[in-house]
């Protein structure tokens, strides 16, 4: 089963830059997209396309903001939207799909860069997500993809020292990822690649992508019990159209 994740930074914009062509050639069974920026009610514009079915969750608190979607050609057993606690709902951040032998999460985690209140919201969302994932993990394993908005270690961004006080690389954000790994979740890309220089997001300014001055903030994690079934994980930095590029996971699944 091939799973892909991509923060498209506006679905309508990336469609004009070859999104459907990329999708048809991806071989993906399920694609999680983040930052669709679709408004509620406009999701039907992107219905059954290219052999994929779709499910969307858009922000209800702000137009043209956030939003996630899944395109799939393997039918899930069930689909859920948002976290159970209403305190974390409304921004269009999470789709949950249950397959035969794992739960799949597509998540656009909050950005903590707009002040202390949003940083607290981001950290709270992290904790609420982990609690929910752990509850479901009692039933079957977990796969989670998306834009985590945090680079975990100094290997995961170009200028670690210069960004130690920047949201996305703050000690408390990185500490949550430490705890996530300690709870038994595996960064699948790091199963295959131990070196730095591999990024999934580049600032549009200063030709950062041309110079590969980036951050790795888009991930596929699996719960430990799925580790033996991970066949490969990768970053497809040859794909353009957004300030992020797609990331992928291939896993044995029934």
To the nearest whole number, what is the mean pLDDT of the chain?
Answer: 96
Select which of 147, 156, 187, 218 is catalytic: 147
**Is position 149 annotated in a ligand binding site?**
yes
The answer to whether 26 touches 32, Cβ cutoff 8 Å, is no
The tens digit of pLDDT for each residue in 98-123 reads 999 999 999 999 999 888 999 999 99
The reply to whether 252 belongs to the active site is: no
**Is position 35 annotated in a ligand binding site?**
yes
CA nearest to 55, candidates 110, 38, 64? 38
Tokens of 124: 């709270």
More confident residue, 47 or 172: 172
From residue 206, alpha-carbon distances to 156, 210, 212, 214 in Å are 19, 9, 11, 11
- In eight-state DSSP terms, residue 60 is S
What kind and span of H or E run contains 133? helix 116-137
Give the residue extent of every domain in the chain. 2-251
Residue-level pLDDT at 45 = 86
Residue-level pLDDT at 37 = 97
**Is position 244 annotated in a ligand binding site?**
yes
The tens digit of pLDDT for each residue in 186-217 reads 999 999 999 999 999 999 988 999 999 999 99
pLDDT above 90: residue 126 = yes
Residue-level pLDDT at 48 = 66
CA nearest to 27, candidates 205, 232, 240, 210? 232
The tens digit of pLDDT for each residue in 30-88 reads 999 999 999 988 888 887 678 999 999 999 999 999 999 999 999 999 999 999 999 99
- Rounded-to-integer distance, Cα 40 and Cα 53, Å: 18
**Is position 225 annotated in a ligand binding site?**
no
Class of domain 2-251: alpha beta
Select which of 103, 108, 121, 219 is catalytic: 108
Cβ neighbourhood burial of 225 (10 Å; 0-12, 13-18, 19+): middle
The pTM of the whole model exceeds 0.75: yes
pLDDT band at 149 (very low <50, low <70, confident <90, very high): very high
According to DSSP, the β-strands at 78-81 and 201-202 are unpaired
The reply to whether 147 belongs to the active site is: yes
Q: What percent of the chain has pLDDT over 90?
A: 93
The reply to whether 108 belongs to the active site is: yes
CA nearest to 26, candidates 176, 239, 251, 192? 239
The tens digit of pLDDT for each residue in 223-244 reads 999 999 999 999 999 999 999 9
Cβ neighbourhood burial of 51 (10 Å; 0-12, 13-18, 19+): exposed
Residue with tokens 């997500």: 129
Residue-level pLDDT at 101 = 95
- Rounded-to-integer distance, Cα 253 and Cα 247, Å: 19
């Amino acid at each position: 089963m091939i799973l892909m994740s991509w923060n498209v930074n506006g679905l309508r914009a990336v469609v004009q830059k070859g999104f459907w062509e990329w999708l048809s050639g991806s071989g993906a069974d399920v694609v999680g997209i983040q930052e669709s920026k679709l408004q509620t009610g406009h999701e039907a514009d992107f219905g059954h396309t290219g052999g994929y079915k779709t499910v969307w969750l858009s922000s209800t608190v702000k137009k043209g903001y956030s939003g996630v979607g899944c395109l799939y050609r393997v039918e899930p057993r069930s689909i859920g939207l948002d976290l159970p606690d209403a305190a974390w709902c409304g921004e269009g951040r999470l789709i949950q799909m249950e397959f035969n032998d794992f739960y799949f999460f597509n998540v656009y985690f909050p950005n903590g860069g707009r002040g202390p209140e949003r940083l607290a919201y981001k950290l709270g969302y992290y904790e609420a997500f982990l609690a929910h994932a752990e509850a479901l993990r009692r039933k079957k394993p977990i796969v989670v993809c998306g834009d985590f908005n945090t680079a975990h270690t100094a290997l995961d961004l170009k200028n670690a020292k210069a960004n130690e006080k920047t949201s996305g690389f703050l000690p408390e954000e990185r500490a949550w990822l430490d705890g996530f790994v300690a709870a038994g979740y595996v960064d699948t890309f790091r199963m295959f690649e131990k070196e730095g220089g591999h990024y999934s997001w580049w600032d549009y300014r200063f030709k950062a992508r041309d110079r590969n001055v980036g951050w790795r903030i888009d991930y596929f994690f699996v719960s430990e019990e799925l580790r033996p079934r991970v066949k490969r994980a990768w970053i497809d930095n040859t794909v353009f159209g957004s300030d992020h590029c797609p990331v992928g996971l291939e896993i044995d699944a029934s």
